[in-house]
Amino acid sequence: MSGADLLLGNRERDQTNQMVVTMARLVEDGDFLAEGIGTFLPTAAYMLAKLTHAPNCTSLCPNGNTLMPGTRTLTLGHDEFETIPRASMWLDYLHINTSTMPAILIGGRPRWTEFMRPAQIDPSGATNNVCIGPHARPKVRLPGSAGIPDASTVARRFYYYAPRHTRQLFVPELDFCSGAGHPGTAEGNPQTITVITNLGVFETGPDGRLRVTKLHLAASRAEIEDSSGFVFDWVPDVEVALPPSAAELHLLDTAIDPRGLRFLEALTGAPRRQRLRALATEDAAA
Protein backbone atom coordinates (compact mmCIF):
# COMPACT_ATOMS: atom_id res chain seq x y z
CA MET A 1 0.00 0.00 0.00
CA SER A 2 1.37 3.43 -0.85
CA GLY A 3 1.41 6.20 1.72
CA ALA A 4 -1.00 8.20 -0.48
CA ASP A 5 -3.73 5.51 -0.23
CA LEU A 6 -3.35 5.63 3.54
CA LEU A 7 -3.32 9.46 3.56
CA LEU A 8 0.20 9.28 5.00
CA GLY A 9 3.63 10.21 3.74
CA ASN A 10 5.84 7.24 2.86
CA ARG A 11 8.12 8.11 5.78
CA GLU A 12 5.19 8.02 8.24
CA ARG A 13 4.09 4.71 6.74
CA ASP A 14 7.58 3.26 7.20
CA GLN A 15 7.82 4.65 10.75
CA THR A 16 4.51 2.96 11.60
CA ASN A 17 5.76 -0.41 10.36
CA GLN A 18 9.00 0.13 12.26
CA MET A 19 7.05 0.74 15.48
CA VAL A 20 5.13 -2.51 14.98
CA VAL A 21 8.28 -4.61 14.56
CA THR A 22 10.04 -2.84 17.46
CA MET A 23 7.07 -3.72 19.69
CA ALA A 24 6.88 -7.28 18.35
CA ARG A 25 10.53 -7.82 19.24
CA LEU A 26 9.83 -6.85 22.86
CA VAL A 27 7.37 -9.76 23.15
CA GLU A 28 8.81 -12.95 24.66
CA ASP A 29 7.45 -16.41 23.98
CA GLY A 30 4.84 -17.38 26.58
CA ASP A 31 3.85 -13.78 27.35
CA PHE A 32 0.33 -12.83 28.36
CA LEU A 33 -0.48 -10.15 25.79
CA ALA A 34 -3.10 -7.63 26.86
CA GLU A 35 -4.78 -5.90 23.92
CA GLY A 36 -6.54 -2.57 23.90
CA ILE A 37 -9.52 -1.72 21.71
CA GLY A 38 -8.74 0.09 18.47
CA THR A 39 -5.04 -0.05 19.36
CA PHE A 40 -3.99 -1.51 16.05
CA LEU A 41 -0.22 -1.06 16.43
CA PRO A 42 0.25 -3.28 19.51
CA THR A 43 -2.31 -5.80 18.29
CA ALA A 44 -0.47 -6.07 14.95
CA ALA A 45 2.80 -6.42 16.92
CA TYR A 46 1.34 -9.26 19.04
CA MET A 47 0.16 -11.12 15.95
CA LEU A 48 3.56 -10.65 14.30
CA ALA A 49 5.33 -11.96 17.41
CA LYS A 50 2.98 -14.97 17.57
CA LEU A 51 3.61 -15.74 13.90
CA THR A 52 7.41 -15.49 14.29
CA HIS A 53 9.35 -15.98 17.53
CA ALA A 54 6.59 -16.19 20.18
CA PRO A 55 3.93 -18.75 19.13
CA ASN A 56 2.98 -19.69 22.70
CA CYS A 57 1.55 -16.38 23.83
CA THR A 58 -2.05 -15.94 25.02
CA SER A 59 -3.95 -12.76 24.18
CA LEU A 60 -6.45 -11.08 26.47
CA CYS A 61 -8.92 -9.56 24.02
CA PRO A 62 -11.02 -6.83 25.63
CA ASN A 63 -13.30 -6.81 22.61
CA GLY A 64 -15.13 -9.97 23.60
CA ASN A 65 -13.41 -10.37 27.01
CA THR A 66 -11.69 -13.55 25.99
CA LEU A 67 -8.44 -15.40 26.34
CA MET A 68 -7.29 -16.38 22.88
CA PRO A 69 -4.39 -18.47 21.68
CA GLY A 70 -3.42 -18.22 17.99
CA THR A 71 -3.60 -15.26 15.67
CA ARG A 72 -6.23 -13.43 13.66
CA THR A 73 -6.58 -10.70 11.08
CA LEU A 74 -7.23 -7.22 12.46
CA THR A 75 -10.77 -5.83 12.09
CA LEU A 76 -12.31 -2.40 12.42
CA GLY A 77 -14.49 -2.94 15.50
CA HIS A 78 -15.54 -6.52 14.68
CA ASP A 79 -13.04 -8.39 16.84
CA GLU A 80 -15.81 -10.05 18.88
CA PHE A 81 -16.75 -12.04 15.79
CA GLU A 82 -13.16 -13.33 15.53
CA THR A 83 -12.32 -13.86 19.18
CA ILE A 84 -15.45 -15.24 20.82
CA PRO A 85 -15.87 -18.33 18.65
CA ARG A 86 -12.16 -19.17 19.09
CA ALA A 87 -11.69 -18.24 22.76
CA SER A 88 -10.18 -20.69 25.23
CA MET A 89 -11.97 -18.86 28.03
CA TRP A 90 -14.61 -16.18 28.39
CA LEU A 91 -14.25 -13.57 31.11
CA ASP A 92 -16.03 -10.50 32.36
CA TYR A 93 -14.42 -7.35 33.71
CA LEU A 94 -14.87 -8.32 37.34
CA HIS A 95 -12.91 -11.53 36.70
CA ILE A 96 -10.29 -9.57 34.81
CA ASN A 97 -9.89 -6.87 37.46
CA THR A 98 -10.14 -8.97 40.62
CA SER A 99 -8.52 -12.23 39.46
CA THR A 100 -6.71 -12.24 36.12
CA MET A 101 -4.80 -8.97 36.33
CA PRO A 102 -3.78 -8.99 40.03
CA ALA A 103 -2.53 -12.59 39.69
CA ILE A 104 -0.44 -11.63 36.69
CA LEU A 105 0.67 -8.09 37.57
CA ILE A 106 1.42 -8.65 41.25
CA GLY A 107 1.83 -12.42 41.22
CA GLY A 108 4.25 -11.96 38.33
CA ARG A 109 3.34 -15.08 36.36
CA PRO A 110 3.02 -15.38 33.42
CA ARG A 111 5.02 -12.45 32.05
CA TRP A 112 2.66 -9.60 31.09
CA THR A 113 3.10 -7.38 28.07
CA GLU A 114 0.84 -4.48 27.14
CA PHE A 115 1.43 -1.25 25.26
CA MET A 116 -0.64 1.76 26.34
CA ARG A 117 -1.08 5.00 24.41
CA PRO A 118 -0.71 8.18 26.54
CA ALA A 119 -1.59 11.81 25.76
CA GLN A 120 1.30 13.23 27.85
CA ILE A 121 4.55 11.73 29.19
CA ASP A 122 6.95 13.42 31.62
CA PRO A 123 10.70 12.80 32.06
CA SER A 124 10.06 10.05 34.66
CA GLY A 125 7.73 8.17 32.30
CA ALA A 126 4.60 9.21 34.22
CA THR A 127 1.61 9.75 31.93
CA ASN A 128 -1.72 11.51 31.56
CA ASN A 129 -4.89 10.33 29.78
CA VAL A 130 -7.37 12.43 31.77
CA CYS A 131 -7.23 16.16 30.94
CA ILE A 132 -5.17 19.07 29.67
CA GLY A 133 -5.62 22.03 32.02
CA PRO A 134 -7.32 21.89 35.43
CA HIS A 135 -9.46 18.81 36.11
CA ALA A 136 -12.57 20.82 37.09
CA ARG A 137 -12.47 22.98 33.94
CA PRO A 138 -10.11 21.34 31.44
CA LYS A 139 -8.92 22.94 28.21
CA VAL A 140 -9.12 19.47 26.66
CA ARG A 141 -11.00 16.64 28.30
CA LEU A 142 -9.45 13.32 27.28
CA PRO A 143 -11.44 10.05 27.29
CA GLY A 144 -9.94 8.78 30.57
CA SER A 145 -7.28 6.59 32.09
CA ALA A 146 -9.02 3.17 31.95
CA GLY A 147 -6.76 0.65 33.73
CA ILE A 148 -3.49 2.59 33.49
CA PRO A 149 -3.59 3.88 37.12
CA ASP A 150 -4.21 0.32 38.37
CA ALA A 151 -1.51 -1.35 36.29
CA SER A 152 1.26 1.29 36.28
CA THR A 153 1.43 1.39 40.07
CA VAL A 154 2.04 -2.35 40.52
CA ALA A 155 3.79 -3.60 37.35
CA ARG A 156 7.57 -3.97 37.33
CA ARG A 157 7.80 -3.12 33.63
CA PHE A 158 5.55 -0.81 31.64
CA TYR A 159 5.33 -0.06 27.92
CA TYR A 160 3.84 2.92 26.13
CA TYR A 161 3.63 3.73 22.44
CA ALA A 162 3.01 6.98 20.60
CA PRO A 163 2.70 7.14 16.80
CA ARG A 164 3.33 10.91 16.77
CA HIS A 165 6.34 12.14 18.74
CA THR A 166 5.59 15.79 19.60
CA ARG A 167 6.26 18.51 22.17
CA GLN A 168 2.63 18.14 23.28
CA LEU A 169 3.32 14.49 24.10
CA PHE A 170 6.69 14.74 25.89
CA VAL A 171 6.10 17.50 28.45
CA PRO A 172 8.21 18.67 31.41
CA GLU A 173 5.16 18.54 33.70
CA LEU A 174 1.89 16.62 33.42
CA ASP A 175 -1.49 18.35 33.75
CA PHE A 176 -2.78 15.25 35.56
CA CYS A 177 -0.92 12.07 36.52
CA SER A 178 -2.92 8.94 35.66
CA GLY A 179 0.06 6.63 35.03
CA ALA A 180 2.77 6.32 37.69
CA GLY A 181 6.32 7.20 36.63
CA HIS A 182 9.58 5.54 37.64
CA PRO A 183 9.88 5.90 41.45
CA GLY A 184 13.44 7.25 41.11
CA THR A 185 14.88 4.56 43.36
CA ALA A 186 15.47 0.82 43.10
CA GLU A 187 12.34 0.27 45.22
CA GLY A 188 8.79 0.54 43.92
CA ASN A 189 7.19 0.24 40.50
CA PRO A 190 7.57 0.41 37.59
CA GLN A 191 11.32 -0.24 37.52
CA THR A 192 11.43 0.07 33.73
CA ILE A 193 9.25 2.28 31.56
CA THR A 194 9.75 2.01 27.80
CA VAL A 195 8.19 4.37 25.26
CA ILE A 196 8.16 3.48 21.55
CA THR A 197 7.52 6.40 19.19
CA ASN A 198 7.80 6.95 15.47
CA LEU A 199 11.26 8.44 16.12
CA GLY A 200 12.79 5.91 18.50
CA VAL A 201 12.79 3.98 21.76
CA PHE A 202 13.03 5.73 25.14
CA GLU A 203 13.66 3.87 28.38
CA THR A 204 14.12 4.90 31.99
CA GLY A 205 17.68 4.58 33.29
CA PRO A 206 18.87 3.91 36.86
CA ASP A 207 18.15 7.55 37.82
CA GLY A 208 14.54 7.06 36.76
CA ARG A 209 14.63 9.45 33.79
CA LEU A 210 13.79 8.53 30.22
CA ARG A 211 16.82 8.15 27.94
CA VAL A 212 17.07 7.68 24.19
CA THR A 213 18.06 4.05 23.68
CA LYS A 214 17.28 3.43 19.98
CA LEU A 215 16.55 5.44 16.86
CA HIS A 216 13.93 4.54 14.28
CA LEU A 217 14.88 4.81 10.60
CA ALA A 218 16.53 8.11 9.83
CA ALA A 219 15.49 10.04 12.96
CA SER A 220 18.19 12.48 14.01
CA ARG A 221 19.17 13.94 17.35
CA ALA A 222 17.95 17.35 16.17
CA GLU A 223 14.55 15.97 15.16
CA ILE A 224 14.09 14.31 18.55
CA GLU A 225 15.16 17.45 20.42
CA ASP A 226 12.91 19.69 18.32
CA SER A 227 9.94 17.34 18.87
CA SER A 228 10.25 16.97 22.66
CA GLY A 229 9.27 19.36 25.44
CA PHE A 230 12.26 18.35 27.58
CA VAL A 231 15.83 17.26 26.99
CA PHE A 232 16.52 13.52 26.95
CA ASP A 233 19.72 11.89 28.10
CA TRP A 234 21.20 9.56 25.49
CA VAL A 235 22.76 6.19 26.15
CA PRO A 236 26.29 5.99 24.72
CA ASP A 237 26.39 4.74 21.12
CA VAL A 238 22.65 4.82 20.45
CA GLU A 239 21.81 2.16 17.87
CA VAL A 240 19.44 2.38 14.96
CA ALA A 241 16.67 -0.21 15.47
CA LEU A 242 16.76 -3.12 13.05
CA PRO A 243 14.32 -2.21 10.25
CA PRO A 244 11.43 -4.54 9.34
CA SER A 245 12.46 -7.52 7.21
CA ALA A 246 10.71 -8.34 3.94
CA ALA A 247 9.19 -11.38 5.66
CA GLU A 248 7.82 -9.28 8.53
CA LEU A 249 6.30 -6.73 6.15
CA HIS A 250 4.77 -9.55 4.12
CA LEU A 251 3.11 -11.03 7.23
CA LEU A 252 1.76 -7.61 8.19
CA ASP A 253 0.39 -6.88 4.72
CA THR A 254 -1.15 -10.32 4.14
CA ALA A 255 -1.97 -12.37 7.26
CA ILE A 256 -2.24 -9.68 9.95
CA ASP A 257 -3.48 -6.39 8.55
CA PRO A 258 -4.17 -6.42 4.79
CA ARG A 259 -6.46 -3.36 5.09
CA GLY A 260 -3.76 -1.25 6.71
CA LEU A 261 -5.79 -0.47 9.83
CA ARG A 262 -2.54 0.05 11.76
CA PHE A 263 -1.89 3.24 9.81
CA LEU A 264 -5.08 4.81 11.23
CA GLU A 265 -3.18 5.34 14.47
CA ALA A 266 -0.74 7.69 12.74
CA LEU A 267 -3.58 9.87 11.43
CA THR A 268 -5.41 12.65 13.23
CA GLY A 269 -8.23 15.12 12.51
CA ALA A 270 -9.82 15.31 9.06
CA PRO A 271 -7.55 12.78 7.28
CA ARG A 272 -8.29 10.20 9.97
CA ARG A 273 -12.04 10.78 9.60
CA GLN A 274 -11.71 10.55 5.79
CA ARG A 275 -9.85 7.22 6.02
CA LEU A 276 -12.37 5.86 8.56
CA ARG A 277 -15.24 6.77 6.23
CA ALA A 278 -13.59 4.96 3.34
CA LEU A 279 -13.07 1.87 5.51
CA ALA A 280 -16.65 2.04 6.86
CA THR A 281 -17.98 2.20 3.29
CA GLU A 282 -15.93 -0.92 2.44
CA ASP A 283 -17.36 -2.65 5.53
CA ALA A 284 -20.93 -1.73 4.62
CA ALA A 285 -20.45 -3.10 1.09
CA ALA A 286 -18.92 -6.37 2.35
Answer yes or no: are the C-beta atoms of 29 and 36 closer than 8 Å: no
For the bound state, the minimum distance from the C-beta of residue 224 to another protein, rounded and expressed in Å, comes to 27
Q: Which residue ranges make up the site for another protein (CB under 8 A)?
A: 37-38, 62-65, 76-78, 80-81, 84-85, 90-94, 96-98, 106, 130-131, 135-141, 143-150, 152-154, 176-180, 183, 188-189, 264, 272-273, 276-277, 279-281, 283-284
Of residues 132 and 238, the one with the C-beta less far from another protein: 132
Of residues 110 and 147, the one with the C-beta less far from another protein: 147
Show the 3-state SS of 180-246.
Answer: CCCCCCCCCCCCEEEEEECCEEEEECCCCCEEEEEECCCCCHHHHHHCCCCCCEEEEEEEECCCCCH
For the bound state, the minimum distance from the C-beta of residue 27 to another protein, rounded and expressed in Å, comes to 23
- Which of 28, 78, 74, 80 lies closest to 49 in space, CA to CA? 28
For the bound state, the minimum distance from the C-beta of residue 242 to another protein, rounded and expressed in Å, comes to 30
List helix spans (H) across 37-135. 40-51, 79-83, 93-95, 101-105
Of residues 69 and 144, the one with the C-beta less far from another protein: 144
For the bound state, the minimum distance from the C-beta of residue 50 to another protein, rounded and expressed in Å, comes to 23
- Which of 2, 3, 1, 15 lies closest to 224 in space, CA to CA? 15
Indicate the pairing of strand 210-215 with strand 233-240: parallel
For the bound state, the minimum distance from the C-beta of residue 281 to another protein, rounded and expressed in Å, comes to 7
For the bound state, the minimum distance from the C-beta of residue 163 to another protein, rounded and expressed in Å, comes to 14
CA 95 – CA 67 distance, rounded (Å): 12
Answer yes or no: are the C-beta atoms of 209 and 153 closer than 8 Å: no
Of residues 56 and 98, the one with the C-beta less far from another protein: 98
Of residues 71 and 129, the one with the C-beta less far from another protein: 129
Q: How many CA atoms lie within 13 A of 249 on its CB side?
A: 11
Of residues 17 and 145, the one with the C-beta less far from another protein: 145
